Structure formats: structure tokens, C-alpha cells
Amino acid sequence: MRKLLLFLTLTLAVGTFYWLGGNRYLTYGEVRTHSQQIHAFIQAHPVESMVLYAATYILAAVLCLPGTTLFFTMIGGGLFGFWEGTMLAAFSSITGAFLSFLTVRYLFRNLAARQFEGRWEGVKERLKKHGVRYILALRFTSAIPYFILNPLLALTSISHGTFLWTTAVGIFPTTLFYSFVGYRIGLMEVEGAIKVLPLLVMLPVAVALVASPWIKKRLDG
């Protein structure tokens, strides 16, 4: 009953968010329009601003709202500066991912398994074959989106510690990149070329991670 009530509460929260049009505020244009007021609030209330940013980012991650990771990371760099924005975004992203992981693993495992039926079996098999290299490859390339990968991994046998450190390592390069873009270019909408750049940079690393056992075996032979 407690699980059902929590599930209904989360579902109601997401439904209410979209019904009230909250998603329209999570846009670069909306933030850009109110950038002066936002910057003024940050200057007047720096600690409260960081707490509010982190809490909103974490909540969006737990609710698995699509597209919010890139958005919050970009505006983090634009609003708080490169290093501060990067640290805030990384902390919020890792925390939100872990809470999403725990929520699915301990509360909604059966429901999530049915939702991702046919998709998570492939993840389990590749994880069993390649180990953490496969998780890092998925994180580096974002081959499976952040908001889907977190609950998917909760359906596997991966430990809490492994999930945490692979998430921290795997998301940090793209967090750095998008925070820097937000810091240098400002609060602008990310277009196709900017979205593709991290994939072009991290794809060779991901391929090397997955292929490393085969390469080692060939070299030893």
C-alpha cells in the first residue's frame, strides 16, 4: 500500500507539473528572458540560489523528466560560472541518478521491469559480459538517455557503490562540456552541432573501454 501511494504521488506530481505547463519554464528561452531577475536573485541570495537549483535538478532527475539534464547543466554554467556550475550540476546529477536508482530498485522494480521489458535484458547481458566498462561506455556516449539508464540499471544486479562511481566518472566529461558551453556562450538553446560534439569526443573512449579485453587478448596472443 505504501508503494502504491508513493507511486500515485509521483505520478500525480509529474502529471500536475505538465498540466500546469511547468515544462514551458524549463527552456533556454524562458531563462534567457528572465536572466536579469535570476542573476539579481543569485547575487542577493547565493546560498539559497544554489540550494534551489540543486533541489530542482535532483527532483527532475528522480521524476525522470526527459531532457532536463542537459538543460540544468547548461544553465548551471551560465548562472553560476564554469567551476561552480560544474560542481553543482555534477552533484545534483549524481544525487538525482542515485535516488532514481533507489526508488526503482526498492519500490517500483516489478513495474519498471514490465515497462522496459525486452530492453533491459540486453543491458543485463552486456553488463555481465563487459562489466563496468559497458556502464561507462553508456554514460560517456549517452547511448541510452540519462533518465532511462538510471531505472534500467536498477533492474540489474549492479551494487550501489558501483552505480555511484560509474555515474560520477561517466557523466563528468559531458557535465564539464555543457557547463562550459553555458558559461562561455550564455543561456542559448543548444542546437544539433553542440549536441553532437560530446558524442564525437567520447565515442572513441567508449569503444576502447568495451573493446579493451579483446585488444588485450590479441596483444597477449
- Whether residue 151 contacts residue 116, with contact meaning beta carbons closer than 8 Å, is answered with yes
For 138-165, how does the pLDDT look when each residue is reduced to its tens digit (9 = 90+)?
Answer: 887 777 778 888 888 888 888 999 999 9
Q: What is the pLDDT of residue 146?
A: 82
Which of 43-47, 77-81, 121-125 has the least mean pLDDT? 121-125
Q: How far apart are the first and last CA of the chain?
A: 58
Q: Which three cell numbers stand for residue 166?
A: 560509474
User: Cα(69)–Cα(58) distance, rounded to whole angstroms?
Assistant: 10
User: Cα(38)–Cα(59) distance, rounded to whole angstroms?
Assistant: 20
